[in-house]
Structure 1
């Protein structure tokens, strides 16, 4: 996150004051990152709000906003229309620049890959169609997805600030290795971050590159731009194409543990006599509440040539009155609710967001899921946690872009102009 609150005051003075504070111009520049983050996350829609959030003078906030506009990052509307019945002159409105820079985001999962361009504010500017072929060689896959992203950049003509990759595996820090890409058939310990960086450089892009776990990135995106906005301690649980993942935002920051491997929620046992899990246990959430579990519980044969997630969602929407589908829905909701209750007891989040198929299960029977969590968690209904559906259709892609945007949020002037 970009810095703390800036001290007030701007002007032409270049020397610090008697209290040893930085010069006024330097203090104004130190507010650029925090100001950009406030606009980026939608928490400063006007200059008046920006002034209050930064704790600076109106003049400083105006100068900071003007510099961000000069960098091509935000747009200032100096003559916004006043709301009906309001008093006085409305404050200048702030928004991300429509034609500003973008980040190249890439996501790889067991059913394919996709590339996108994502602007400030988390908006997807352009995206490729999803590819449904995954090569067992990570270098071949990542080269293809980067090439697809480069074609988007050439088509749009947008400046690119960086590249981010979301992968369905725990990514160890600081090496950036994928420790358990089981559903990709990639080698365990593949150095995905270095491979991705090399592919970006080979494409001719001189930009920083990053990689992280897809569910962690989904949580980051939902916290900044989606259903988790405003939460202090946010728990995201999601199942995409295979398996179940979880991520935690604590006090506004993504919690990844000492080496990037925190919150492997897929290996919570929710059915001791259940299906064997690849971890060596039985009845883990990973194999009891993912699309494959739903399709088989509904008595259907998994489509070997298609997306399991699409097949499961299709059953939930198009065959929801089928008795087998209803029974499968209830079963997976109960399994998921049991796992969520255990996580609530341990983590005490103030909000839960569900993604992927879990979002669709919540929509199918929200009362049943909330009741299971309340009945099985320590505080019961008196301390029930809000459970919401994710609101970003491609939250892992948006989260991958957040990795690339972070250096700009930390230091807009340095990242974009080398100043």
Structure 2
């Protein structure tokens, strides 16, 4: 101790004391700035229910951590015409490493606070049978991005095309990968992240769950209370539910396996042992088969299906395939609407393309076959984010920082 007292604000309270009192407000304050609900310090003060001085110290601490920017010059947009400093996410602030593995390849990205993709690697189109090799490769690619950009990393997240069981973090059914059932993907990811020298905690979860989380925070699901997301990946169909702002994953992480709802009772055999499931009746391979189009060796099945719809919209076989898959998808969505009563449905992957190709038909099928369809139709929208599973993987990694910025960053 040098005998000097802590500096005091005009109100007489040391800034550090105010920060200690307001530490619990750091996470809520960061959330308010991240979502744009507190564009100025005056609004932040009002939303947090603290004094102006405490809000100022909280904002200053978040800026010191590199998470937000506080404009040096106040604007005339504060309360009662009083100037107030503008707040925004710092675009040069920390990032997280996000990784995605799917049936046709993998990709890594750096994602900033607020869901902004800072950099991505080219997509790799080869996925081997050893999950450790694949996950190691995508982590190495992400570590290369960190080295190139020089950005500070605060964590890592991985999206995989499988239900991920909790609390073990095992991929129970990577059906469209050659991986063994029960692969410990979370532990493998954590080892690879640590081995590559990437700082921060590491997380892994199902890709459609993460897509729903990203869309709810940054895309087509913003503002929804009970959001249902259904999407095709490059193969198969997945679903996710966000209830009252939180991802619903069930008691052990396995909720919303919607791909195994029956869409065509006499349809194709499914990997689950049933027949005619959404997973095999409404995915890209099913569309190509319905259109009489043999899958090509180049490019993902999802892109091939999208390209076929875009290039030949007036082809009778393509139109018929769209109609068949829209009817199957609509029937499955109606059952989900009956059970879950969401206030919004969003569709991704090929399902987004089908909605855009035949919006009225799909909405009519859902309305006709759901109990409440005629009295209160559910909005059905397209997902809007590029690489939403990657953004969702990043959201997993950002969550500790959102919960307690000071503790999370001090631990690095």
| TM bucket normalised to smaller | over 0.9
For 1:165-187, what per-residue CA distance to the aligned partner results, in whole angstroms no more than 9, with x for missing partners?
00000000000000000101100
- Residue matched to 1:211: 204
Q: What is the alpha-carbon distance in structure 1 between the residues aligned to residue 305 and residue 82 of structure 2? A: 53
Question: For 1:26, which of 20, 24, 37 is the aligned residue?
Answer: 20
Partner of residue 166 from structure 1, selected from 159, 163, 169: 159
Return structure 1 stretches of 4+ with deviation > 4 angstroms.
Answer: 80-83
Q: Are the aligned partners of 2:157 and 2:396 in contact in 1 as well (CA < 8 Å)?
A: yes
Q: Provide Cα deviations, 1:106-139, integer angstroms capped at 9, x if missing partner.
A: 0000000000000001000000010000010000
For 1:192-224, what per-residue CA distance to the aligned partner results, in whole angstroms no more than 9, with x for missing partners? 000111111111223211100000001111111
Q: 5 Å matches for 1:339-354? A: 339-354=332-347
Q: Provide the secondary structure at the position in 2 that maps to 1:42.
A: coil
Q: CA deviation at 1:78?
A: 4.5
Matches within 5 A, 1:261-272: 261-272=254-265
TM-score (norm 2): 0.93
SS at match of 1:60: helix
2:43 counterpart of 1:49: yes
Aligned to 2:55: 61
Q: Is there any run of 5+ residues in structure 1 with no aligned partner, and where?
A: 1-9, 15-22
User: What residue number does 2:172 align with?
Assistant: 179
What is the aligned counterpart of 1:118 among 86, 111, 114? 111
Q: Which residue of 1 aligns with 2:67?
A: 73
The Cα of 1:81 is off from its aligned counterpart by 6.2
CA contact (8 A) 1:115 1:148 kept: yes
Aligned to 2:6: none
Distance 1:52 1:294 in 2: 52
Paired position in structure 2 for 1:355: 348
Report SS of the residue matched to 1:383: coil
Deviates more, 1:25-34 or 1:235-244: 25-34
CA distance in 1, matches of 2:170, 2:51: 46
C-alpha displacement of 1:55 = 2.4
Q: 1:334 aligns with which of 322, 327, 332?
A: 327
The residue number in structure 2 matching 1:5 is none
- Tell me how far apart the structure 2 counterparts of residues 127 and 376 of structure 1 sit (CA, whole Å): 42
1:80 is displaced (CA, Å) by 6.5
SS of corresponding position for 1:125: strand
Inter-partner Cα distance in structure 1 for 2:275 and 2:295: 21
The C-alpha deviation readout for 1:370-396, integer Å capped at 9, x for no partner, is: 111111111123211111111111110
Is 2:185 the counterpart of 1:192?
yes
Using the TM superposition, give the Cα deviation of residue 49 of structure 1 relative to its aligned residue in structure 2, in angstroms: 2.9
- CA shift at 1:57, angstroms? 2.7
Matched residues in 1 for 2:313 and 2:125: separation?
27
Secondary structure at the counterpart of residue 380 of structure 1 = coil
Q: List alignment gaps of at least 5 residues for structure 2.
A: 1-10
- Cα 1:161/1:371, change in 2 over 3 Å: same
1:77-96 map, 5 Å? 77-79=71-73, 88-89=81-82, 91-96=84-89
Give, in whole Å, the separation in 1 of the partners of 2:323 and 2:346: 19
Q: For residues 228 and 240 of structure 1, what CA distance do their matches in structure 2 show? A: 19
After TM superposition, the structure 1 = structure 2 runs for residues 202-351 of structure 1, keeping only pairs within 5 Å, are: 202-351=195-344
Distance 1:329 1:256 in 2: 31
Q: Which residue of 1 aligns with 2:13?
A: 12
**Whole-angstrom distance in 1 between the partners of 2:367 and 2:352:** 18
TM-fit CA distance, 1:98: 1.3
Quick one: distance in 1 between partners of 2:87 and 2:359?
37
CA shift, 1:13, in A, is 7.2
Q: Report how far residue 93 of structure 1 moved.
A: 2.2
8 Å contact from structure 2 (residues 19, 54) kept in 1: no
Could you tell me whether the CA contact under 8 Å between 1:270 and 1:288 is conserved in 2?
Answer: yes
Q: 1:46 to 1:306 in 2, by over 3 A?
A: same
Structure 1 match to 2:5: none
Shift of 1:295: 0.8
Shift of 1:321: 1.1
For the residue of structure 1 that corresponds to 2:159, the secondary structure is strand
For 2:53 and 2:216, locate their aligned partners in 1 and report how far apart those are by CA, in whole Å.
30
